[in-house]
Amino acid sequence: MFSLPGYEYFLGFLLIASAVPVLALITNKLLAPRSREGERELTYESGMEPIGGAWIQFNIRYYMFALVFVIFDVETVFLYPWAVAFHKLGLLAFIEALIFIAILVVALAYAWRKGALEWS
Amino acid sequence: MTSPGTVQQAVISPGINLELSFNQALQGLGVPPDLAHILWLPLPMLLVLVAAVIGVLVTVWLERKVSAAAQQRIGPEYAGALGVLQPMADGLKLLVKEDVIPARADELLFTLGPVLVLIPVILSWLIVPFGQHLLISNVGIGIFLWIALSSIQPIGLLMSGYASNNKYSLLGGLRAAAQSISYEIPLALSVLAIVMMSNSLSTIDIVEQQNSAGLLSWNIWRQPVGFLIFWICALAECERLPFDLPEAEEELVAGYQTEYAGMKFALFYLGSYINLVLSALLVSVLYLGGWGFPIPVEWIANLLGQSTQEPLVQVITGSVGIVMTILKAYLLVFLAILLRWTTPRVRIDQLLDLGWKFLLPISLVNLLVTASLKLAFPIAFGG
């Protein structure tokens, strides 16, 4: 009936979880008053007329952190199967993971020295 | 099909199995097994959804009452006894509030943002166990599913911040994304140490592994550093003080929520509280023995000369399990509320320094120490 055991619940719960915000928004649409008068739809900027838009270039720092994140996130994904099977693999797997993590620590040290982890 | 596996488990291990009883009852009435399974499917999901919503209402009330007590105020008191109905009244009010979409915003992304924040948070409840068989589905990847789902949320936050076309919202959205990606790695690494000790990703196995000797076998004693890392990261992921920079009222008005009103604001609100309760539940599952009573229920049952297979004992064990899970989780929620009023907010550079230069190296070391201890003392660290 279903190839992955237990995941039919995932699919079902995805539908139910998606229905919650959708139903809430539809109910809101039906019940709530609707008016477009005045300055209601003006972007909020502390009571002033907004100066320019917000779709502009932003701080490069965010990209740097995103790049370092990608490296380490992939690392953790690689480590998950290792951790689950660790009790069967023993010492050799430990040394292998040690080398793997050591390489990434070098990468972290490099990023640190280059200032990729500095905000200012 | 889950049924064959769970049936076998139920025979060898104690604990009530509602799915099995339900299916057997229906089959007794002449319903084919497949149909019984399909009829069963939505029941645990709706039950958990209702539990999550009630959990949020209680948390909101608790937050307002405890905050009031911390500031020597009274807090909500008119809606129901002690104001218990206040959160529900607030929710109903938001349901009939006008939905304002700023003229310069991107309407589609503006609507999609809060929806995308809420769905993965609700979906993560799939793996929260309240007892041996009291969870929606014991999927094989268990806790990893939660880590995967929790990384969808920042996309929603970034989306709503950017779509609002408001400077405060943009900054709030960017900060939210930067913060949650920075704390996700230490979080995943501290979960990794637990996974290594349990030899499994399933939340059920993680709890069972902790319940051999009650209080003493809880993971918090074997993973004290991991517990602290996980708790700090969970607070950061929930954007709770001291890590609430994305919505820092004094500087960013309300961050990515600035332009939101009515139900869409309520979705953010609901999402953040469901996430808080979820994180507290997962801390109790990963580190505090989940549904386990401080003294193993089997020992008490043996002492009283009762078999754990008896229906009455099973019902009591199941109820105690649910109560224990909720109690542990709410203790942590209470701690989070007290932290809110006792710690000052960190700056963005301090936040990123803490994440990248402190928690990340510490969690890597914690993982390696766990691995070497597991090699040295396999019995104490899950074989």
User: What pLDDT is attached to residue B251?
Assistant: 77
Which tens digits make up the pLDDT trace of B123-165?
999 888 887 777 877 787 888 889 889 888 889 988 988 888 8
Type and span of the H or E element at A107: helix A91-113
Comparing C-alpha atoms, which of B140, B153, B128 is closest to residue B47? B128
Query: Could you say which of B100, B166, B372 has the minimum Cβ distance to residue A94?
Result: B372
Q: What is the DSSP string of B207-261?
A: HHHH-SSGGGGSHHHH-HHHHHHHHHHHHHHTT-TTS-GGG-HHHHTTGGGTT--
Contacts of A73 in chain B (CB under 8 A): 151, 181, 184-185, 188
* Rg of chain A on CA atoms, in Å: 25
User: Is B369 at the interface with chain A, CB within 8 A?
Assistant: no
Distance to chain A for B166, nearest Cα, Å: 5
The rounded distance, in Å, linking the Cα atoms of B28 and B17 is 17
Contact B360 A108 (CB under 8 A): yes
What's the token pair of residue A6? Answer: 């237990």
Query: Could you say which of B137, B352, B364 has the minimum Cβ distance to residue A101?
Result: B364
The rounded distance, in Å, linking the Cα atoms of B167 and B171 is 6
Q: What is the DSSP string of B7-68?
A: HHHHHHS-S--HHHHHHHHHHHTT--HHHHHHHHTHHHHHHHHHHHHHHHHHHHHHHHHHHH
Which residues fall within 8 angstroms of residue B161, CB to CB, at 6 or more apart?
A: B113, B169, B170, B171, B172, B173, B174, B176, B255, B256
- Chain A / chain B CB contacts < 8 angstroms: 216
User: Is A18 at the interface with chain B, CB within 8 A?
Assistant: yes
Minimal-distance CA residue of chain A relative to B206: A84
User: What pLDDT is attached to residue A52?
Assistant: 77
Which tens digits make up the pLDDT trace of B221-269?
888 999 999 999 999 988 887 888 777 777 778 888 888 888 888 898 8
Minimal-distance CA residue of chain A relative to B271: A21
B333 neighbors B276 (Cβ within 8 angstroms): yes
Type and span of the H or E element at A101: helix A91-113
Which tens digits make up the pLDDT trace of B270-307?
889 999 999 999 999 999 888 888 887 777 777 887 77
Which tens digits make up the pLDDT trace of B323-355?
888 999 999 999 999 998 888 888 888 888 898
Helix (H, G, I), strand (E, B) or coil at B188: helix
B15 neighbors B318 (Cβ within 8 angstroms): yes
The rounded distance, in Å, linking the Cα atoms of B53 and B146 is 19
Look up the ipTM and state it.
Answer: 0.85
Average pLDDT over residues B152-180: 88
User: Is B275 at the interface with chain A, CB within 8 A?
Assistant: no
Distance to chain B for A113, nearest Cα, Å: 11
User: Is B34 at the interface with chain A, CB within 8 A?
Assistant: yes
User: Is B253 at the interface with chain A, CB within 8 A?
Assistant: yes
Minimal-distance CA residue of chain B relative to A82: B196
B49 neighbors B136 (Cβ within 8 angstroms): no
User: What pLDDT is attached to residue B140?
Assistant: 79
Which tens digits make up the pLDDT trace of B26-77?
878 877 877 777 777 788 888 888 988 899 999 999 999 999 998 888 888 8
Instruction: Give the max Cα distance, chain A.
Output: 71
Minimal-distance CA residue of chain A relative to B140: A6
- Averaged over successive runs of 10 residues, the pLDDT of chain A (120 residues) comes to 69 88 88 77 78 78 84 87 86 88 89 80
User: Is B200 at the interface with chain A, CB within 8 A?
Assistant: yes
